[in-house]
Amino acid sequence: MTRISSGALIASLAACSTGIRAPAPAAGSCCGSTDFERGLALAGTYRAPAFDNRRFTYDELWQALVPFLASGDLRTEPVGRSMLGREIRSVTYGTGATRVLLWSQMHGDESTATMALADIMRFLADATGDPLRNRLRDRLTIVFVPMLNPDGAELFQRENAAGIDVNRDARNLVTPEARALKALREQLKPAYGFNLHDQGARIRVGTGGVQAAIALLAPAHDSSRSYNDVRSRARLVAATLAAALAPAIPGRIAKYEDSFNPRAFGDLMQQWGTSTVLIESGALPNDPQKQRLRALNAAAIIVALDAIATGAVAQADPATYDALPYNTSGATDLLVRGGQLVLPGQVPIRADLAINYDDAVARSGPGRLRDVGDLQGTAASDTIDVAGLFIHPRAEALTARPGGTWLRIGASAVFDIRRTA
Per-residue pLDDT reduced to its tens digit, 289-339: 999 999 999 999 999 999 999 999 999 999 999 999 999 987 899 999 999
Quick one: CA dihedral 322, 323, 324, 327, positive or negative? positive
Per-residue confidence band for 32, with pLDDT thresholds at 50, 70 and 90: very low
- Domain assignment of residue 16, yes or no: no
Dist CA 300 CA 241 (whole Å): 6
Condensed to tens digits (0 to 9), the pLDDT of residues 211-266 reads 999 999 999 999 999 999 999 999 999 999 999 999 999 999 999 999 999 999 99
**pLDDT (mean) for 119-131:** 94
308 and 376 co-located in one domain = no
- Contacts of residue 186, defined as CB under 8 A and 6 or more positions apart, other chains included, come to none
372 and 311 co-located in one domain = no
Range in 51-55, 346-350, 377-381 the model is least confident about: 377-381
Given 297, 328, 359, which residue is the final one in a domain? 328
Q: How much helix, strand and coil, in percent to the nearest 5, is found in the chain?
A: 30, 25, 40
- Could you tell me which of 4, 24, 15 has the C-alpha nearest to residue 245? 24
Condensed to tens digits (0 to 9), the pLDDT of residues 191-200 reads 999 999 999 9
- Domain assignment of residue 310, yes or no: yes
Per-residue confidence band for 15, with pLDDT thresholds at 50, 70 and 90: very low
CB atoms within 10 A of CB 207: 9
Domain count across the chain: 2
Phi, psi (rounded to 5 degrees) for 19:
85, 5
244 and 100 co-located in one domain = yes
85 and 136 co-located in one domain = yes
- Contacts of residue 377, defined as CB under 8 A and 6 or more positions apart, other chains included, come to none
Condensed to tens digits (0 to 9), the pLDDT of residues 45-76 reads 999 999 999 999 999 999 999 999 998 899 99
Using the 8-state DSSP alphabet, how is residue 317 labeled? Answer: -
Query: Which residues are paired to 87 by β-bridges?
Result: 81
307 and 379 co-located in one domain = no
Domain with 185, as residue range(s), is 31-328
324 and 350 co-located in one domain = no
341 and 255 co-located in one domain = no
Dist CA 356 CA 363 (whole Å): 8
324 and 375 co-located in one domain = no
**pLDDT (mean) for 386-413:** 93
369 and 285 co-located in one domain = no
380 and 406 co-located in one domain = yes
319 and 364 co-located in one domain = no
Q: In this predicted structure, what is the pLDDT of residue 21?
A: 55
Q: Could you tell me which residue, 377 or 152, shows the higher pLDDT? A: 152
- Could you tell me which of 257, 245, 248 has the C-alpha nearest to residue 320? 245
79 and 227 co-located in one domain = yes
Query: Counting Cβ atoms within 10 Å, is residue 376 exposed (0-12), middle (13-18) or buried (19+)?
Result: exposed
CATH number of the domain encompassing residue 411 = 2.30.40.10
Q: In this predicted structure, what is the pLDDT of residue 362?
A: 86
Using the 8-state DSSP alphabet, how is residue 90 labeled? Answer: E
Query: Which residues are paired to 3 by β-bridges?
Result: 416
